[in-house]
Structure 1
Amino acid sequence: MSAEAQVGLGEMLGRTRRSFWGWRGRRPFWGGLLTMLGGLPIMYFPYANLTLGTMTIRMATTAGAGSLIIGVLLVVLGLTMWFQPHSRIFAGVAAILLALVSLVVSNFGGFVIGFLLALLGGALGVSWAPARPAAAVAPGG
């Protein structure tokens, strides 16, 4: 690769990074990310087989389907916060409620990891507010 190609690549990466930062700034990015990450352990643990040496531990419960539904809904709510930022309050409140329900339904909310991530993500989604447009500067002042 030539030096000229590397310079063009650096400019393209810089433009892509600035574009991503702009996209991220116009929506509750961290709330959506934490909500999606909270749904993963809630979905995973009821169906996981943990192996310790020759012993297999299965966390299957009768609430496996409920855990799957709660986890999928949390992932969908996180994506909603990203791609429909005007629905952030609904998505945040729904994520908080689902996180609370997951304590009872799915192995203490994915062993409390998923519960805490979803609860924090929902709170960030509710509390996020779009930036106010910059005030126009009057000429000469």
Structure 2
Amino acid sequence: MGALQALRSARTWFRAFRRTRPFWGGLWCVAAGAWIVRSMFFTFVLAVSGGWSYSAGYILGGALVLFGLVAWFAPHYRALVGVLAVLLGLAAFVAANLGGYLLGSVLAILGGSMVWAWGEKAPRRSRGGRRRAATVATPGAS
């Protein structure tokens, strides 16, 4: 019984984590960065000594992975991170093997857009209860 209870609590924790952060956008950014880094077939020594054209994929892909993690663990930076992820996806298209053969750039643009557009979800209804009423200020009302 202890394992089932631990599994339930882990699932509840992950659900709460996912609902309070731009989870899917961050996941797409991490996947885009990993794909762009994977598409660079240079050795690390050549990438470090070869200049921008050899190291661009590692730098841009690593930054996309970092931005995906920032979106998960510091969601109050979501607007900045989302815009920067889209810009890095566009830069990777030019600088890093067509952005990981186009897939990395598309994932970065999709993930960055999802991170930028994310908004917190409304509170869930409790069993048998009602949702808390949201107070909306109307323009011109005092």
For the superposition of Structure 1 and Structure 2, which TM-score range results when normalised by the shorter chain? 0.7 to 0.9
d(CA) in 1 for partners of 2:42, 2:19: 36
d(CA) in 1 for partners of 2:111, 2:39: 20
Paired residues of 1:31 and 1:121 also in contact (CA < 8 A): yes
Q: Which amino acid aligns with 1:64?
A: Y
Matched position secondary structure for 2:119? coil
Question: Could you tell me which of 128, 132, 136 is aligned with 1:135?
Answer: 132
Counterpart-to-counterpart distance in 2, 1:30 and 1:132: 17
Match of 1:47 in 2: 41
Distance 1:122 1:63 in 2: 24
Cα distance in structure 1, aligned partners of 2:77 and 2:122? 18
1:97 aligns with 2:87: yes
Structure having the higher strand fraction is: 1
Calculate the TM-score normalised by the size of structure 2: 0.78
Matches within 5 A, 1:1-141: 7-47=1-41, 63-133=53-123, 134-135=131-132
Deviations 1:7-54 (A, max 9, x none): 2211110111111110111000000010010001211212269xxxxx
Q: Distance in 1 between matches of 2:66 and 2:52?
A: 23
8 Å contact kept, 1:46–1:61:
no
Contact kept, 8 Å, 1:47 with 1:64, in 2: the verdict is: no
Question: Hey, which bits of structure 1, 4+ residues long, moved more than 2 A?
Answer: 131-134
Q: Which ranges of structure 1 fall in alignment gaps of 5 or more residues?
A: 1-6, 50-59, 137-141
Q: Report how many residues are paired.
A: 120
- Distance in 2 (CA, whole Å) between partners of 1:107 and 1:113 is 10
Q: Any conservation in 2 of the 1:32–1:125 contact (CA below 8 Å)?
A: yes
> Kindly, what percent of the aligned residue pairs are identical?
37
**Residue 47 of structure 1 aligns to a residue in which SS?**
coil
Structure with bigger gyration radius: 1
